[in-house]
Structures are given as C-alpha cells and as structure tokens.
C-alpha cells in the first residue's frame, strides 16, 4: 500500500523506501512515457531498464537528463521529495515541467534571495534573544550581589 507521494510504503508492516529505480519507473509511467520515450543520447532505454530493475545506479549525468525529461528536479528524482521550489511552483498553480530554463532560473534566484533574507531575519532574532537573555542573567546576578 502506498503512503503519500514519494513517501515510504508499507509491505506486511515493514516500512520500505522507494528506490531511485522504482521512483523513475513510477514517474515515467505517471507521465505515460515508455523507456524509449525517456531515453536520450548517453541514456539508452536499456540503461533505463537496468536502473528501474535495480541493476544499475544512475550517473549524475543520467539523473540530470532523466529529471529534465520527467519534469522534476534531480533532487526530487533522487529522494522522492519535491524541493521547496517545486512545492512553491505547484502552490502557484504552475506545472514544474512547463517552466523554461530561463523561468526556472528566475524562480530559483528569487527563492535563494528569499531564503537568505529569511535566514538573516531569523539570525538577527536569535542574536536579539541572546542579548535579552544575557541582560536578564546579568540583572539577576546584580540583584543577587546587591541583596
């Protein structure tokens, strides 16, 4: 029984992770593609068959080409989890696979900028919390010495 998209699945009560080969096959079939449809120069249908059968581990080059043809990120193909960018694109009502390289680069740049800004704000809040805690600790110590 499958539990959610890209999640572990249970077989007789034992949790198992979907392999890259199984994920590749599932994504390919979801898109109505044959192994030949998915193949490209350097990534033959026989190679895809061996990956899906668990006989081969795909190269980085193959992962990039397969992910592009499937309309997912390499990370998604490797892990089974959509990236934050893929989730954001989907939340906006766009199909990740429909994005042009220029559009995808623009979206990734905006996501990177937002992540940096968010991390900076969180770090500044952390520093302020530390300052407040240190001031409180020093006041308590002064009160103890004065009393």
What value, to the nearest 5°, has the Cα angle with vertex 99 and ends 96 and 103? 125
Answer CATH for 1-97 from 3.30.110.30, 1.25.40.10, 1.10.260.40, 3.30.70.260: 1.10.260.40
pTM score, two decimals?
Answer: 0.65
Spatial separation of the C-alpha atoms in residues 70 and 96, rounded to whole Å: 10
Residue corresponding to tokens 């034992």? 14
From residue 22, alpha-carbon distances to 26, 28, 98 in Å are 6, 10, 24
Q: What tens digit of pLDDT does each residue of 64-111 get? A: 999 999 999 999 999 989 999 999 999 999 988 888 889 999 999 999
Going from N- to C-terminal start, the domains of the chain cover 1-97, 100-147
Spatial separation of the C-alpha atoms in residues 113 and 146, rounded to whole Å: 49
pLDDT over 70 (residue 48) = yes
The answer to whether the CB of 66 falls within 8 A of the CB of 43 is: yes
């Amino acid at each position: 029984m499958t539990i959610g998209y890209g999640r572990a699945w249970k077989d007789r009560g034992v949790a198992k992770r979907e392999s890259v080969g199984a994920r590749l096959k599932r994504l390919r079939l979801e898109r109505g593609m044959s192994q030949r449809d998915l193949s490209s120069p350097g990534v033959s249908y026989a190679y895809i068959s061996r990956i899906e059968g668990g006989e081969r581990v795909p190269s980085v080059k193959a992962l990039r080409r397969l992910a592009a043809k499937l309309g997912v990120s390499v990370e998604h193909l490797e892990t089974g989890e959509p990236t934050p960018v893929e989730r954001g694109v989907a939340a906006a009502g766009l199909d990740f696979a429909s994005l042009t390289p220029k559009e995808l680069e623009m979206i990734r740049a905006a996501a990177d900028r937002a992540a940096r800004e968010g991390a900076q704000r969180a770090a500044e809040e952390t520093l302020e919390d530390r300052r407040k805690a240190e001031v409180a600790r020093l006041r308590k110590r002064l009160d103890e010495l004065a009393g």
